[in-house]
Amino acid sequence: MTNRKQIAAANWKMNLDLAQANSLLQEIASANLPMQANRIAIFAVPFPYLSIAKNILSSCTNYFIAAQDCSAHKEGAFTGEVSTAMLQSLGVDYVLVGHSERRAYHGENAKLLSEKINRAFEQNIQPIFCCGEPLEIREAGNEKSWVEQQIKEALFHLPEEKMKGFVIAYEPIWAIGTGKTASSDQAQEMHAHIRSVIAQQYGDSTANRISILYGGSVKAANAAEIFEKPDVDGGLVGGASLNAVEFGNIMQGLK
């Protein structure tokens, strides 16, 4: 049995109006599913709902709030950006960095992502670093080297101390909304590779303390099978996290 944190992370993306968000949060809080010991739930809600989520879920044990992104700048004339200092002042615990949609639609590169990670740590916010390969890379058989490069370029400037307890989310982009499915064995293979990449740089002890989440269309129906794999430490959940019962079942699938 691993002592790594087992994490069910909800990524709401750009969904729900205020009334819908409030209703979903109230339903989640009312269920108040117990998250004992090394299990935690994280809710990455849109910026306008961070304070609401923090307030509503504050009575639930091991429930945390995440932002879906942050600025690489500390402060200044950056209209529309949100700094990690702002997030920290709201009591935000985690922040997604490098989600595949940010990379694809906003051209975010490794240099920018490494700066965002630095800003997050400055405010004692834990980054959840997202990585993963598109279909053409998977079909060419280059997925391991692709993900390895993403990790090295964005994370390997960090000292070992920052990597202890770090969170990485692996997103097989080719298996999200395409009709193609990644098997639990494929997930385990990549997660084991990611852990080995971290081990080569920081040692086995640090690598074995990193939580690696799977982000490829996780649903209640497949969560337990995926999560039982030895190097899979939970999931980064998209659409299924917009349903309180569905996400609750995913939370209960954690090992």
Q: Six-digit token pair at 161?
A: 């101390």
Distance of CA 97 to the CA centre of its chain: 8
Alpha-carbon gap, residue 171 to 92, rounded angstroms: 23
Task: Return the bridge partners of 9, or none.
Answer: 42, 236
H helices of the chain, in order, are 18-31, 50-57, 84-89, 100-106, 110-122, 135-139, 143-155, 160-163, 184-202, 204-207, 220-227, 244-252
How far does the chain reach from its first CA to its final CA, in angstroms? 9
- Given the residues 99, 108, 133, 191, the one annotated as active site: 99
Q: Which of 210, 227, 117, 119 is nearest to 167 (CA)?
A: 210
- Given the residues 101, 133, 171, 193, the one annotated as active site: 171
Q: Assess whether 73 carries a catalytic annotation.
A: no
Q: Which residues lie closer than 8 Å to 123 by C-beta, 6 or more apart?
A: 84, 85, 87, 88
Interior angle at CA 77, CA 76 and CA 78, nearest 5? 100
Alpha-carbon gap, residue 88 to 67, rounded angstroms: 10
CB atoms within 10 A of CB 145: 12
Q: Assess whether 228 carries a catalytic annotation.
A: no
Q: Which of 245, 133, 108, 248 is nearest to 186 (CA)?
A: 133
Active site residues: 99, 171
